[in-house]
Amino acid sequence: MKYDKVTIRGKVYFRYRHWDPVLQKHVKNIYGSTLKELKKKHDEFCALKTAGVKEEATTFNDFFKNWLYTVHLMDKKPSTKARYDSTYNTHIKDAYFSKIPIQKIVTSDLQIFYNQKFEEKGEYVVKNIHKLISPCVRYAFENGNIVRNFATNVKLPKDLSNAIDKHQKIRPLSFEEQKKFVNAIKGHPYSALFNTALDTGMRQGELFALTWADIDFSDLTIRINKNHSCVKDIITERQVNYTTNTKTAKSRRVIPLANRTKKILIEHMKDQKTQLLRIGIIQTENTLVFGTIVNTPLDSSNILKELKKVYTSIGITDKTFHDLRHTYATRLFELGEPAKTVQELLGHSNVNITLGTYTHVLEKQKTKTASLIDSLYEMEERTSVISIG
């Protein structure tokens, strides 16, 4: 290592000047207060060069922002873009961790950031942040921007208190509540929508995207192949309606249509046709099954307000639109449907999601097993008595 000495603001420093044989000029100056310090910095610099790491002084935030908007979001759906954009602006953009130069970050820096977020916002938020940071760091490593992937060995904090059990978020209607609900929505403007949600377990976005072409009244089936969402455009920052393909292959499915629901939908189709004709719109197979008065997509917040009014009228609280889907699944389990069948009807990607979501229902079903065993022996005893007599 060749070096010289320079005086800067009255202080003498040891200096190494790196010569680039391609550019035919000095491209890097390294300084040290002592020769030992200079040698250490020189060795670190050479190690990075050998590993092919590009020398940059960019902060993690600058690198992440560029990666997110020019790489990661390119093949994502509008709803996913909006969600990731929100995660970045809410949790990553202004964090102290993001101000550290990306080449100087070590695993402990990221671990501290996650631990703090866990204390502030909880496990779920940390997982969502890691879903973005992890692929970003991997991208930086694979492209030579950092010498090691510092996200590999980080430990995601977990809530071990079990204070909030996952299935407590599942709040299906009891059978008695369901009967009251069905009675309460008779004649309601959204009666067909609420009944279809209750009888098919379709997600709200799937219902909002449904067209008449998707319903086969002869075969009694509904084909689910698209999803509606209204999300903020990350460029214009305006709410925009989108209809896209379903998220996964399992979400694309054909489900049975009950005769009860068929009658409701046929009546709804007749009423809709009449209403649309009044304003000069012709109902076709591409017409939305559930739309506004001019057949544009429904607004989820308005629908929830109307649904809440119905719930309140029959004394039900803390229920959402999605709980109609949970009610459908719960009734299926109570009627003895296998978990695999319920999974396919709901469009879950695998049966473990179904089992994990409806653990509470399955636990209740287990208690009935003992009574079934008792019934079996009681039947045998009655048979024996009759035979003796």
Res 83: pLDDT: 92
The CATH class of the 178-313 domain is mainly alpha
255 neighbors 206 (Cβ within 8 angstroms): no
Distance from C-alpha of 367 to C-alpha of 370, rounded to nearest angstrom: 6
Does the pLDDT value for residue 163 go beyond 70?
no
Res 384: pLDDT: 60
Rounded to two decimals, the pTM is 0.66
Paired tokens of 174: 């009891």
CATH topology of domain 60-142: DNA polymerase; domain 1 (1.10.150)
Q: Mean pLDDT score of the chain, rounded to an integer?
A: 88
**Residue keyed to tokens 């695998």:** 350
- Summarize pLDDT for 130-154 with one digit per residue, the tens: 999 999 999 999 988 888 899 999 9
Calculate ∠ Cα 376-377-383, nearest 5°.
95
Grade residue 167 by pLDDT with cuts at 50, 70 and 90: very low
- Summarize pLDDT for 315-336 with one digit per residue, the tens: 998 899 999 999 999 999 988 8
Domain ranges within the chain, ordered by starting residue: 4-51, 60-142, 178-313
290 neighbors 298 (Cβ within 8 angstroms): yes
Distance from C-alpha of 87 to C-alpha of 90, rounded to nearest angstrom: 5
Q: Which residues pair with 17 in a beta bridge?
A: 29
